[in-house]
Structure 1
Amino acid sequence: MSDTTRLTRFEAARVVARRDFHAILFSRAFLFFLLGPLFPILIGALAGGIGGQVQRDATTRLVAVVMSEADAEAMIEARARLAPQVGRALPELAISRSSAPPDKILRETGRNYAAVVTGTLDAPEITAPQEAIAIWSGPIAMIAAHAGSSEVQAYPAVAGRPVATSRAAERSDRIRTAQAGQLILFLLMMLLAGMVLSNLVEEKANKVIEVLAAAIPMDAVFLGKLVAMLGVSFVGIAVWAVAGGAIGLLAGNALPQLPEPALGWPLFVAFGIAYFAMGYLLLGSLFLTIGGMAATVREVQTLSMPVTMAQLLVFFLAASSITRPGSPIELFSAVFPLSSPFAMLARAAQSEALWPHALALAWQALCVFAFVRVGATIFRRRVMKSGKAGRAVKGHVGETKPV
């Protein structure tokens, strides 16, 4: 067959990518894979909402006042005068007409008092657990002092000069956005990268991968599979993003709002997509190499565990350097291929410079091709048993004949 009919590496990779993409995307298992993460998110949201409501109901700021009629009324009036200046630092006060001892009032059925104030305005006493005493002693003393004063104190008006933000507040807010971006990137990569390994193990079992390896260059097979899995991952992310957007519209302002990153949301999201793609390809190429070295599913699980643990370590490395931009550890995490996507996404949230991202993406792409080439070489030697014994006659996929 003529050399002109032989597929180039990128053409062969495109053929493999198209085949794998359609085979996985239209499978029944992929539909269940898409639905899988939605159930824990829904259950977690419900549990968080219920837990927050229970916590709010369980926490009380109500303090019972058991004093003489005049002293109790004076406490209530003093609290009302102080409230505009002090706000939520003051407890809610309620006059109790009960003649029971203070410890019995705290345990009254149908009541939810945090403490009981007795005594006089000059010598108030608080009956409560030690933690509540530490919280409410100061505010109760303030209220009693104002209640016992014959003169109503006038407070000077405080003029406010609001600003949008400060340098310290801006840095703190951007660190929150960087942490959230890193966490989402890590979870998506760990959730989706495993598909590469399972797909390769399945094709090794039914000998499909050996047919492909005999027909086209092994690095083209690896690259095609990685691109196909990346495309499938983007479909999954799009579905989850739509579901998350619907939940966000229903929740409204109940969900926490992340501060705007340094580069703005459009560029930050664009870099997030780019760094996810690079991180996925880097981790996927490692998983393909592991699949090439493993002969059984048990070996795959054994060999993939160190990579998973290593990925946790590089994530922690990138996360620990967020607060130290420009430090040696931050520069190392930005250069090391597996931690580079996490570190650079954090930079996108904290710094307005664009050139480091162009440099980082080029470096990560170079590492992807290097990882693919090394992984393909290892796989070819183990599956094909030698570099030339299983080589096929030049031709199209499906039209090869062994020498």
Structure 2
Amino acid sequence: MPELIRAAWVIARRDFAAIIFSKAFFFFLLGPVFPLAIGIAAGSIGGQVARDIDRSSFALVMDSADSGAALKARASLAEQLGEQRVPVLVAVETDDPQSVIASGKDTRFLGVLTGTLAKPRLIGTKGEVERWQGPLELLVERAREGAAAAPATLETQLVAESSGSLEQGRLVTAQVGQALLVLLTMLLAGMVLSNLVEEKTNKIIEILAAAVPIDAIFLGKLFAMVGMAMIGIACWTSLALVAVLLAANGLPALPTPAIGWPMFLALGIAYFAMAYLLLGSLFLGIGAMASTVREVQTLSMPATMGQLLFFFLASFSVTRLGEPIEIFAAIFPFSSPFAMLARAAQQDVLWQHLLALGWQAFWVLVLIRFGARLFRRNVLKSGGGKRGLIAGLFARS
């Protein structure tokens, strides 16, 4: 194992220096400008998820007679105005209405409609109260139709933060994190494939294979590409921060993830590395089977489309935390980085991320071994008596 790591380090250092100090790397840093349009277009695919996130629910804490009338009025208004314009009411039995939206509760209630229909009261944050006070007043009036009393005034009680608004903010953070992760992975992973095919064409890979184990070559190339990707991300992040500071005189107020920003960013880097290594190791296996650029394009297309499907799976399950489809997305290797990053935005449990990173690293090693076996079978078809001589020359160089 130490010899394998040493050999992989030599390959990684060689590839890293060759890429970073090339003229093409500068133009590569300009690459994200073009995928921005693709990212904006892909945002429309998450329309259903956005509607799930914006599904506004209020707890209804009233006696049974008033609750029944309010629920009937809500159904009637939803038919006339549309589901999105009338908040969902969920009857809740409690002696403390404000506790229903305590920030520590696992719920999506944006507020509480309580009291009676004659004297209703709305509890929620300032933003949610201002947004939904009008529709809820209309709903109460509809529920009180036929009453002889004067129109009721909806009293309001403001709280600092509700669990519903907190969860919606975290869902937004989860979606943004997933979108950035897949964009960077798809943008950068293709370089692994192109680099391997180029060296196969020039017969350089065969010289390297005569000097060091194939597993070390693949591992070194992957880590060299990860290092190159980190430099690119650092440059793009710096430019983005400068643009935000110049345009807005400060950073925008983003929803805070459940695990906290420092740990969320650290996990984002770790999950990007794992997503990159998983896709890159798969591409290395494809490169081992391909002998021409045309074959590379043909074989890599299913892998690229498959990665997008896994991203869509993780994105679709972001609002279904703990359900079977979300658990499957968190376990399946290629969708696991995206699903687990969304979990980091919604849950503050750290041990599950350590377990997921170990699981993903295991599959990286499995794919590297599989790709190395394919390479030996398809490229190194004949033994070489020159192996020892080439290995000695490589070691001295």
Counterpart position of 2:179: 183
Counterpart position of 1:262: 258
Hey, what's the Cα distance between the residues in 2 that align with 1:200 and 1:297?
11
Q: 1:336 pairs with 329, 332, 337, which one?
A: 332
The structural deviation recorded for 1:173 is: 1.1
The structure-2 alpha-carbon separation of the partners of 1:12 and 1:395, relative to structure 1 and needing over 3 Å to count, comes to farther
> In the alignment, is the contact (CA less than 8 A) between 2:174 and 2:346 conserved in 1?
yes
Counterpart position of 1:357: 353
Counterpart position of 1:279: 275
Q: Structure 2 matches for 1:3-402, cutoff 5 A?
A: 8-38=3-33, 161-252=157-248, 257-386=253-382, 388-389=383-384, 392-393=387-388, 396=391, 398-399=393-394
Hey, what's the Cα distance between the residues in 2 that align with 1:249 and 1:379?
48
AA partner of residue 213 (structure 2):
P
The structural deviation recorded for 1:331 is: 0.9
Hey, what's the Cα distance between the residues in 2 that align with 1:256 and 1:22?
37
Hey, what's the Cα distance between the residues in 1 that align with 2:343 and 2:246?
32
The structure-2 alpha-carbon separation of the partners of 1:370 and 1:397, relative to structure 1 and needing over 3 Å to count, comes to farther
Q: Deviations over 1:165-220 (max 9, x none)?
A: 21111111111100000000000000000110111111111110010111110010
Hey, what's the Cα distance between the residues in 2 that align with 1:350 and 1:39?
31
Hey, what's the Cα distance between the residues in 2 that align with 1:364 and 1:40?
27
Counterpart position of 2:91: none
- The structure with higher relative contact order (CA 8 Å, sep 6+) is 1
> In the alignment, is the contact (CA less than 8 A) between 2:307 and 2:334 conserved in 1?
yes
Bigger CA radius of gyration: 1
> In the alignment, is the contact (CA less than 8 A) between 2:245 and 2:251 conserved in 1?
no
Hey, what's the Cα distance between the residues in 2 that align with 1:182 and 1:339?
10
- CA RMSD in angstroms comes to 2.8
The structural deviation recorded for 1:37 is: 2.1
- Name the TM-score, length of structure 1 as normaliser: 0.66
AA partner of residue 325 (structure 2):
I
The structural deviation recorded for 1:285 is: 0.3
Hey, what's the Cα distance between the residues in 1 that align with 2:372 and 2:8?
13
The structure-2 alpha-carbon separation of the partners of 1:157 and 1:317, relative to structure 1 and needing over 3 Å to count, comes to closer
Give structure 1 regions of 4+ aligned residues with deviation exceeding 6 angstroms. Answer: 155-159
> In the alignment, is the contact (CA less than 8 A) between 2:207 and 2:390 conserved in 1?
no
Hey, what's the Cα distance between the residues in 2 that align with 1:27 and 1:294?
25
Hey, what's the Cα distance between the residues in 1 that align with 2:339 and 2:386?
42
AA partner of residue 288 (structure 1):
L
The structure-2 alpha-carbon separation of the partners of 1:241 and 1:350, relative to structure 1 and needing over 3 Å to count, comes to same
AA partner of residue 18 (structure 1):
R
Q: Give the aligned length.
A: 286
Hey, what's the Cα distance between the residues in 1 that align with 2:385 and 2:324?
47
Counterpart position of 2:87: none
Which consecutive unaligned segments of at least 5 residues does structure 1 have? 1-5, 46-154
| Higher mean C-alpha displacement, 294-303 vs 257-266 | 257-266
Hey, what's the Cα distance between the residues in 1 that align with 2:385 and 2:286?
21
Q: Which secondary structure state, in structure 1, belongs to the residue aligned with residue 158 of structure 2?
A: coil
